[in-house]
A and B are shown apart, each in its own frame.
Chain A
Amino acid sequence: MSAAAPKEKPSTNPILWVARPMATAARQFAKSLIRPSTIVYPFERLEDPKFREEVAVAAGKPLGVGAVWDNYRGVHALNIATCISCNLCAFSCPDVCIQMVAVPDAQTKRLKKCPEIDYGKCSYCGFCSDACPEGCLTMTTRYELSATKRADMIYSPEKLYEVFQRKLPMNPIRLERPKNEDAILLDAPLCIGCNACARDCPTQCITMLDIPKPTPKPGEKLPRRIWKEPVVNDSDCVRCGTCISVCPKECLFWGTHT
């Protein structure tokens, strides 16, 4: 395809030295007398859909037209009740700004680990809410979080729960899980049947099944272990890797079923 060069003598050559820009500025002046494009921020907010329509009509400009605020990645909201303490948010955080801290569950009154977010470090990438398998950590349209102290930038799970209770528009985007997701596989000879994985599994998708105790050959010593083996229910598993982290023998690993 031939490259169309911009015309060497464009039609916008100066008339009367500066008549064109002066006229353009005057036209813009006349236009903005009705309503300038600026949004008077604390009083007018683009996240308000009604205001968006009004301002677009009043200004005759596509102000805020493109903005879909539901998708906005702002301050997180955490539903403590549905959090399963899977650590995935903390794992996925590229800035390591999420810490899992123990808070009492609203219903059961038992302690459970929930994410605490340091907004001084957070980059609002959304990886944590993408990773959350239960959809309990989502991002909201809230973007005002100035604080006078650094400690105030650390949002405890309770504070994130408060944000949740405000019923702000939540980011509706949920990522589909990849179809060929790796599963937890067991390196069977290493396992000692200690139940640590099943105990700590946040979704209780690991069950310890009995395995037959082999009869030792003469001269062979049976390993000292419990004769059970974990079996992972892949459809319930959220792939958090907690079992791998707690396994004392490092016998669990990621892999695909062949």
Chain B
Amino acid sequence: MSEMWINMGPQHPMTHGLWNLRVKIDGELIVDADPEMGYLHRGIEKISEDRHYNEVVTLMDRCCYVAGMSWEHLYILASEQALSIAPPERAEYIRTMADEFQRLGSHLMWYAAFVQDLGLMSPFLYGMRDRDLILDLFQSFTGARMTYEYMRVGGVRNDLPPGFTDRARKVMDWLVDRFREYDALCLGSDIFRKRCDGLGVLSQAQCVELGVTGPMLRSAGSSRDLRKDRPYSAYDRLEFDVARADAGDVTARYLVRMEEMRQSVRIVRQILDWLDTHPGPVMAERVPRWLGAPYAPIGREDYLLKRRYPKGVGFSAIEEPHGEAQAYVVNEGGEHPYRVKFRSPVFANLSAAKHYLVGYHVADIPPIMGSVDICVGECDR
């Protein structure tokens, strides 16, 4: 067989979303790769320019369907900096907890999708089953399972319902037991090890050069984790370790994500203990009128502009489940953000696709791309 291009996508079981991986293959060997993006581009950055600060939060949930809460957190942190508002401490803890729930949910979803790419169907369902428990928890304090709309500039929408912490503890206990099962199904399987060891290797230097972040970077030996290196919200008050591995291959990414989930459970347990003993407000006291309650006359927005609010620029970076996400919010004194710019970790991780795909086989594409953990929603925005 001579060389040929094949389009893996936009509709393809491997893609987990709407994108197109064009690979040039020679027999079963990959000789070139060119990811094509944009099938899910919804112009969130543009729409944000026409929305109030809190209304952008609804877009953030749809930005990434597995890590909506992390994106809310990211955006809210940047907006708060741009608007010079500080949230109360309890809100910070709740946000951190929500963030870690989201990391658990996202990693469980990743686990499910990743093993399914390898042809393992039952762990897929185990992962989805356990993710559902996380969604239940989300539902109990945000009121929705995937599109939370929970964080607000200056705090969070509402406090936790009574009895929440006990429920969450139960789920955490259950999850910790499940992680052992997951490892037995994957690491304990010779076929899994044979398929994943030494696959999709990216060295630390390559990662830094190509802008690859998150579990992919940490699996290559780096210990960079914004939660440690540049603590935001309540992370500086919590104890946890940074998950790290050295091999830089698919198995190493698996190990890093599994370890991150264990650390997330550890963090959540600490936060739950803290939340039990520290009641308080969850919304900042002094927020501009059009932020405290999410309303403003839509038809004639210029009324608000009779008074300009203080200008500011906000920049935030958080360790999202997929990697480092950043937001840049420009506040020009209006009730809408002037410009919102997001940096999606998946965007950068995917742009390096050629470097971790070339030289492997067609059958290796699903595990490699699975280990990258792609969420096209946040990549295209």
A–B direct contact (CB < 8 Å): yes
Residues of B within 8 A of A241 (CB): 295-297, 303
> What mask results when residues 175 to 191 of chain A are scored 1 for a CB within 8 Å of chain B, else 0?
11111111000000000
Check if A21 sits within 8 Å of B184, measured CB to CB: yes
**Of A6, A72, A130, A240, the contact of B139 (CB 8 Å cutoff):** A72
A240 to B298, CA, bound (A): 11
Question: With A68-B164, A181-B292 given, is the CB distance from A24 to B181 under 8 Å?
Answer: yes
For residue A245, CB closer than 8 A to chain B, the reply is: yes
Chain A, Cβ-Cβ closest to B240: A1
**Of B141, B193, B243, the contact of A6 (CB 8 Å cutoff):** B243
For residue A155, CB closer than 8 A to chain B, the reply is: no
Among B15-23, B204-212, B253-261, the stretch in contact with A = B253-261
Among A120-128, A157-165, A206-214, the stretch in contact with B = A120-128
Q: How far is the CB of A141 from chain B (nearest CB, A)?
A: 10
A65 to B193, CA, bound (A): 35
Q: How many residues of B contact A (CB 8 A)?
A: 79
For residue A222, CB closer than 8 A to chain B, the reply is: no
Check if A24 sits within 8 Å of B285, measured CB to CB: no
Check if B129 sits within 8 Å of A37, measured CB to CB: yes
- B234-286 with Cβ < 8 A to chain A: 239, 241-246, 255-256, 258-259, 283, 285-286
A4 to B292, CA, bound (A): 42
Question: With A181-B292, A241-B303 given, is the CB distance from A17 to B190 under 8 Å?
Answer: yes
Main secondary structure of the interface of B (DSSP, over half): helix
For residue B149, CB closer than 8 A to chain A, the reply is: yes
Check if A175 sits within 8 Å of B158, measured CB to CB: yes
Question: With A124-B147, A130-B294 given, is the CB distance from A239 to B289 under 8 Å?
Answer: yes
For residue A195, CB closer than 8 A to chain B, the reply is: no
Question: With A65-B167, A66-B133 given, is the CB distance from A96 to B255 under 8 Å?
Answer: no
Q: Which 4 A-B pairs have the closest CB atoms?
A: A20-B188, A178-B292, A182-B289, A66-B136
In the complex, 15 of the A-B residue pairs with CB atoms within 8 angstroms, ordered by the A residue number, are A5-B244, A6-B259, A12-B187, A14-B189, A15-B188, A20-B184, A62-B167, A65-B167, A66-B133, A68-B161, A124-B147, A175-B293, A178-B283, A253-B303, A253-B307
Interface residues of A (CB under 8 A from B): 1-6, 8, 10, 12-15, 17-21, 23-25, 28, 37, 61-73, 88, 90-96, 123-127, 130-131, 139, 171, 173, 175-182, 239-241, 244-245, 250, 253-255
List 16 extra interface pairs beyond A65-B133, A66-B140, CB under 8 A.
A5-B246, A6-B245, A10-B187, A10-B255, A20-B189, A21-B184, A62-B170, A67-B140, A71-B141, A126-B149, A127-B58, A178-B286, A239-B289, A244-B300, A245-B300, A255-B307
Interface residues of B (CB under 8 A from A): 51-52, 54-55, 57-58, 62, 122, 126, 129, 133-134, 136-144, 147, 149, 157-158, 161, 164, 167-168, 170-171, 174, 180-181, 183-193, 223, 228, 239, 241-246, 255-256, 258-259, 283, 285-300, 303-304, 306-307
